[in-house]
Structure 1
Amino acid sequence: MDMMKKISVVIPTYKRPQLLIKCLHALHQQVLEKKYYEVIVVSDGFDAATKKLVHEMQHLFQDHLVYLHHEVRKGPAAARNLGWLFSSSPLIAFTDDDCIPDERWLLEILTHHDGKSDLVYSGTVIVPTARKPTDYEKNTAQLEQAEFITANCACTKKVLYQVGGFDERYKMAWREDSDLHFKLLQQRIPIIKLPKAVVIHPVRRAKWGVSVKEQKKGIYNALLFKKFPTLYRSKIASRTSLLYYTLLVLLLIMIYSTIVRMPLLQWYSTIFWVCLTMAFIMLRLRGTRRSLGHVTEIVVTSIVIPYLSIFWKIYGAIKFRVFMI
């Protein structure tokens, strides 16, 4: 073991060198001396461009910059496990390839580390957004209120061994950090808040209709609920599910009444469906950009999101064999 290294930074990534390079530059500019930390970049599958970038920047880190990769894609949870298990440092910091750590980030963590082996640290995440953000930017900005996320946290290696690291059944970047958080809470492992350990989380440019694709992540809500039902209900469960199921029931009534030719029922169910859908659209538009393109995107995606959300939730419940509605 290299006794000089006190902390390792693990960054999961995959084919996003244009984002990763900004993160690495920020880590290169840390005020902490290079000899005290290393950076471990873990690609979720082989990535020639990322490997080349890491090799080109190794000299900036006094060769304390490492590239690892999985042979096949396994998700960010597995990538983080590969990284922290490879590390020779007693303390492991996690961030993401689209994040920009403040220059004092690592120093803040080490300054507050008293050498104990059963501690976890959680820093501050800042999401810069426009005064009138898009719906996607607004959702991403919620990371600022998260209790614990892997964009900015640090765990002693002993703790990671104790809780079994990250659950690799989470194949997407969703709920794997909540899973780790809940394991820490269950085992009463102290989580120390470090407000001055700051990481900036810029909002990535998103494709039109990204919120539709995002619904697939709901699969892993079922896994988290199965493992931690009480914590899930208290910290994550959302009232939007009731709205989604109401919209689904109204849609089914509309279809049924059309087939059996019940015009009055069809009329009332259609009116209620339109009203609730409009309420959902206005809820998503609240405080966001009102450009024609953005409003059109919100209207179109709001029509399909409730049903996709329910579909992926049921899919996850079947996949992980848990009753969840």
Structure 2
Amino acid sequence: MTQFSFFSVIVPTYQRNDLLAKCLDCLIPEIQTLPAEQYEVIVTDDGFQITAQEMIREFYPWVKWVAGSRKGPAANRNNGAKYARGEWLVFTDDDCLPDPQWLEAYAEAIVAEPACLVFEGRTYVDRPRRSLAETSPVNESGGYLWSCNFAVKKQLFESLTGFDERFPYAAMEDVDFRLRLVKSGYKFSFVKTASVCHPWRAKGGWNKIKQHREATFIYLSIHAEELVNINSVYYLLFALRSFVNQTVPAILQFNFTGINEAFLEHFAYLYMSVLLWRYSLTSMKSLKNQ
């Protein structure tokens, strides 16, 4: 039998012990098909009102619990990676449910593609969508490198200084990591069998939209050249396409359930289009004055 690499599974969490428990239940050595001696699980906990420390001590003694830095998801993932003993880091989120063959699939991919240092897995949903108010980061064909399901050689992760901790929310930090990875000349491979379920969740409302807006401008302040791709036209077309292709058909399918959340989201896209138009004008004036 091929000797697989040792994995460190990093699970960031923040005051969601109920969801975290379901995630850890999927990572129990008796459930995962990869031998227990070939992986560790690290929960890095940003909680302050409640933490998962006691729950893990009592029910998951094989899991390593560490206190997070309380600086957001990007910093929390980096914090977990600091404690990793594995040659490879595997990231998922506390609201995900890894399949039994999840880690073994990554291990087999590493053996099959020894030159590849980054792999992303499949992220799917648990059931058909029931409402326009539901959302999930579905990834059925690859190309996204969402932070909820990917594996990276620890040495490479450290050379890229991990996730950029200037991102305070769960938004755009994985997009930034993917861009820096590609700019450094690395490619990532999609492993469909390395799958996790990300159940449908309620959209975060205006607060989540505000976080995405702030994160987008942080991203553009770091990668000014990306204004060519992420600009007012991008958000305008995105709003129109999603309205025509998704919202209109779903209105009848879901009997208008979640329509308020859907329209709020479309309004946010249009608002972002205006903000980015103003941002691009300001950027051009700054370049002319230099």
TM-score, normalised via structure 2 length: 0.80
Question: Helix, strand or coil: the match of 2:235?
Answer: helix
Q: Which residue of 2 aligns with 1:241?
A: 235
Paired residues for 1:105-144 under 5 Å: 105-114=102-111, 119-130=117-128, 133-137=130-134, 139-140=135-136, 142-144=138-140
Q: How many residues align?
A: 273
Paired residues for 1:43-192 under 5 Å: 43-46=45-48, 48-59=50-61, 63=62, 65-70=63-68, 73-114=70-111, 119-130=117-128, 133-137=130-134, 139-140=135-136, 142-144=138-140, 147-192=144-189
Q: Which residue of 1 aligns with 2:221?
A: 226
Q: Counterparts of 1:244 and 1:148 in 2: how far apart (Å)?
A: 20
Show structure 2 runs of 5+ residues with no match.
285-290
Q: Counterparts of 1:54 and 1:150 in 2: how far apart (Å)?
A: 23
Quote how far apart the aligned CAs of 1:227 are.
2.9
Question: Helix, strand or coil: the match of 1:169?
Answer: coil
8 Å contact from structure 1 (residues 224, 232) kept in 2: no
C-alpha offsets along residues 276-311 of structure 1, whole Å, 9 cap, x if unaligned? 9xx996666223244355335545x36853575468
Paired-residue identity, %: 28
Quote how far apart the aligned CAs of 1:135 are.
2.7
Amino acid at match of 2:209: Q
Report the RMSD for the aligned CA atoms in angstroms: 3.4
The structure whose Rg is larger is: 1
Q: Which residue of 1 aligns with 2:194?
A: 197
Distance 1:134 1:86, change over 3 A: same
8 Å contact from structure 1 (residues 135, 284) kept in 2: no
Q: Which residue of 1 aligns with 2:206?
A: 212
TM-score, normalised via structure 1 length: 0.72
Match among 255, 269, 272 for residue 291 of structure 1: 255
Q: Counterparts of 2:115 and 2:54 in 1: how far apart (Å)?
A: 35
Show structure 1 runs of 5+ residues with no match.
246-275
More helix by share: 1
Distance 1:290 1:165, change over 3 A: same
Q: Counterparts of 1:303 and 1:90 in 2: how far apart (Å)?
A: 43
